[in-house]
Amino acid sequence: MPTPAAALDVRPVSRLFKALGDETRLRIVALLAHGELCVCHLEMALDLNQSTTSRQLAVLRNAGVVETRREGAWVYYRLADQPDAECAEQLRALCADFLARPAIAREVKQLRATKGPQSCQ
C-alpha cells in the first residue's frame, strides 16, 4: 500500500502548473487577468501568429485554466473558476500579481478599444 505522500492527489495542481509553465501562456494569463479578450487581441498583444495563439489557448483550455464565449465570428477567452481549492488559490495569487501592473491594464483597455467584434482589423 502506498505511503501518504505517494497517495497524495497532486493531479489538479500538476495539471495547472504544467499549463502555466510556459512564457507565452503566462503572458496570456497576465492579459486575461484584466478581463476577457478575443483571440485576435492576444495575437496582436503578444505578436504571435494565429496558429500558435490558438494552440496555446487550447492548452490552457484543456487544463481548465480558461473558458470561452462565442460572439458571432469571434471567440472571447476568460480565466475559468478553479473547482480545486488549491488551484484556485494559486491562480488567484498569480492574477493578483498581474493585476498590480498598470502597463498591462492600460494595454488591455487599449486593445478592447481598438479591436474586437466591431473593429477587429
Chain residues in the site for its own copies (CB under 8 A): 2-6, 8, 10-11, 13-14, 17-23, 26-27, 30-31, 45-47, 86, 89-90, 93-94, 97, 101, 103-104, 106-107
Tell me if 63 sits within 8 A of 15, measured CB to CB: yes
Rounded CA gap, 12 and 10, in Å?
6
Give the angle subtended at the CA of 12 by the CAs of 8 and 13, to the nearest 5°.
85
Binding part of the chain for DNA, among 51-59, 81-89, 94-102, 106-114 by CB under 7 A, reads 51-59
Q: Which residues contact 114 (CB under 8 A, 6 or more apart)?
A: none
Kindly state the smallest distance separating residue 64's Cβ from its own copies, in Å: 14
Instruction: Specify the residue, 69 or 109, whose C-beta has the smaller distance to its own copies.
Output: 109
Rounded CA gap, 39 and 50, in Å?
8
CA 23, 28, 33, 34: dihedral to nearest 10 degrees? 130
The answer to whether residue 43 forms part of the interface with DNA (CB under 7 A) is yes
Residue 55 binding target from its own copies, DNA, none, CB below 5 to 8 Å by type? DNA
**Applying CB under 7 A, which residues contact DNA?**
18, 22, 24, 38-40, 43, 48-52, 54-59, 68, 70, 72-75, 120-121
